[in-house]
Structure 1
Amino acid sequence: MVPMELAEALAEAGRRMDARGWVPGSAGNLSARIDETRIAITRSGVHKGRLTTADIIAVDYEGNPLVPGQKPSAETLLHCQLYRLFPAVGAVLHGHSLAATVLSMQGGITFANYEILKAFGYATHELEVRLPVYENDQDIARLANFIEPLLQNEPPIGYVIEGHGVYGWGTSVEHAYWRLEALEFLLACELERRKLK
């Protein structure tokens, strides 16, 4: 159901995220668009640093597994939402880094004057960019419904769920990884700046 090349790319991204400490335990989830009706996503409860291609399963855009009995990530609907809303999104990566988790519990997150903001397509570093922080909710369908109009009104560079972790995306698995890496760098910088104050 999932093209092997896509499954391998997601498994590799999981290993890279694990090496950076962004997906402790079985935290996080990774996905990629297969086509206009299917998404490849990590199955529930697997360690992202030890992913195999068998751990990447296919779901429809409502988050339903295409093979009976397979269980996708609990947060599948948040991935599906991004593919539905933004046709250019080809992959979504979600991690639980220390910086994202801690900063999200301190209120809003704004990045100003960082050169690496250019990774998100800005022509200059001389600007402020807000990273939305959404309140955590164990009811993922309700959380997705809350987030949707906010995403549509002002498409962000990513977002964070409070006390949880960060979502980043891109046109491909590799592009999504680069953008997540830039987000994690920004979050780590902000955490260090707050420690210095």
Structure 2
Amino acid sequence: MSDDAFAAATAAIIAAGQRMDRFGWVPATAGNISVRLPDDAVAITRSGGHKGFLDVNGVIRVDLDGRPLRPGDRPSAETGLHCGIYRRFPDAGAVLHGHSVPVTHLSRTGGDSIRLEGYELLKAFPGLPTHEAAIALPVFDNDQDIARLQSAVDRRWDELGQVPPGYLIRGHGIYVWGADMPAALMRLEALEFMLACELEKRRAA
């Protein structure tokens, strides 16, 4: 595995953590960030730690089953969800997980999905060339058994056929991915904006 590839992935993760922190999407020790590496490996944030203050020691390597590649390294408990995305989508190059207020609140309002339609920013997602479109973001019940939660995610993806641009975990947070870090950040920012609008709409109702 190239040390240069890991260094580049680490730099991208640190920059993403700072951006997510600036928008309030990763408070305290919340969230995790990863980048796919060559040779079926993943660079991912270490368990704990504030994502807005990451340094090179805050990123470790794991394999696609979430096992650390260096003795003593402790990945996030949710590493398995990142790996599930990489296993499912060969073109996924980066995964972001955040805990914003709109995501946390809306995911607790019931239902197994949140519908977003008529937003100009829907054009940020592949296959949606105009705002005259709609997506249904899946919402999964939180589960401390990550393997079981990933199995639930896989089953929903199988049922849907065309996978939405991300998913929510009830009372917890959001997962998005993209071909690289800029694409994942754009997807996250678009979804966070639309979910913030949905929250404001519900407050005004």
- TM-score tier, shorter chain, comes to over 0.9
2:103 and 2:173 in contact (8 A); partners too: yes
Partner of 2:186: 178
Aligned-partner Cα distance in 2 for 1:184–1:137 = 23
1:110 counterpart letter in structure 2: R
Match of 2:82, SS state, is helix
Q: Does 1:10 align with 2:13?
A: yes
Match of 2:75, SS state, is coil
Aligned-partner Cα distance in 2 for 1:163–1:35 = 34
Partner deviation per Cα, 1:114-162 (whole Å, 9 max, x = no partner): 0100000211211221010000001111111111121233311100000
Partner of 2:132: 126
Deviation at 1:23, TM superposition (A): 0.4
**TM-score (structure 1 length as normaliser):** 0.97
Partner of 1:141: 147
Partner deviation per Cα, 1:19-49 (whole Å, 9 max, x = no partner): 1000011000000100241001000001100
Aligned-partner Cα distance in 2 for 1:113–1:146 = 29
Partner of 2:69: 66
Unaligned 5+ runs, structure 2: none
1:85 and 1:152 in contact (8 A); partners too: no
Match of 1:92, SS state, is strand
Partner of 1:46: 49
Partner deviation per Cα, 1:45-98 (whole Å, 9 max, x = no partner): 011000012211100011000001100011000000000000110000000000
Q: CA RMSD in A?
A: 1.1
Partner of 2:117: 112
- What percentage of residue pairs aligned between the two structures are identical? 52
2:60 and 2:68 in contact (8 A); partners too: yes
**TM-score (structure 2 length as normaliser):** 0.93
Unaligned 5+ runs, structure 1: none
